[in-house]
Amino acid sequence: MAFSADELRVLRRALATALNPAPLPDDDVQDCLRLADSVDEAVREAGRLRAFLLADLVRYRQALPGSLTGYLELLQDALAAGYDPQADDLAALRALRGSPAAGVLLARCQVLAERSVRARLARVAQTRAPLQARTPLVPAPAPRARLLALPGGRAAAGDEDQGTRPPAPAKPATPAAPKPAAPRPGRPIPTPGEVFPPRRRPVPPPPSEERAAG
């Protein structure tokens, strides 16, 4: 961007006023406004030229290898305007290694591409650093203490459910009834009639005695 002599004088007065604030005459104010409009228009024109240049670069790249000379010239102009070489440009230049000019331009584009990637990663890291600083660190939860089962209560009930209840004490065995002693072989066995003699019926009194009593 180039300034004329009049524009440079206006720019100089504007810079002096910014360093030492003071009221400006109306003519100086109008000159500053016109200079600002000219700068804005120049920026817009530079953006349009850049867009046209990049569009031509894409068309020449697609027409390779027949458009080798035009492509290399356009790429050099784009790099001078601040263009970052893309992956397609690097691939095209690698395919044109037979040309010395393409080899020199490839080495330059590799350096610029690597520098661009590093700058992009640095910006990402700077963006994430304030977020990580504002985010409080949450401590990890402490490991839970292992619970020990106590005898009785639910632990005992759980033992019953799980079949781990201790076995009940065994009942004492009932003593067997003693068997009757066998009779001695030398003594005769009594008969039932001898053991249980028949009962005798009472004898009624004679009839004479009953009448005398009456």
- 115 vs 149: CA distance, rounded Å: 65
pLDDT, residue 145, reads: 59
pLDDT at 212: 47
Query: Residue 73: pLDDT above 50?
Result: yes
Find where tokens 């961007």 sit. 1
Distance CA 7, CA 39 (A): 10
Token output for 13: 């007065």
Give the tens place of pLDDT for each residue, 10-64.
Answer: 888 888 888 888 887 888 888 888 888 888 888 888 889 888 898 999 999 888 8
pLDDT digits (tens, 9 = 90+) for 149-171: 555 555 455 555 555 555 555 66
Q: How far apart are CA 54 and CA 65, in angstroms?
A: 18
Within 13 Å, how many C-alpha atoms sit on residue 120's CB side? 7
Identify which of 165, 172, 130 has the alpha carbon closest to the alpha carbon of residue 151. Answer: 165
Please report the pLDDT score of residue 185 as a whole number: 54
pLDDT of the residue at 178? 53
pLDDT band per the 50, 70, 90 thresholds, residue 213: very low
pTM over 0.75: no
CA–CA separation, 77 and 53 (whole Å): 8
Helix (H, G, I), strand (E, B) or coil at 72: helix
Residue spans of the domains in the chain: they are: 1-62, 67-133
At 190-212, the pLDDT tens digits run 666 666 666 666 666 666 544 54
Which pLDDT value is given to residue 21? Answer: 83
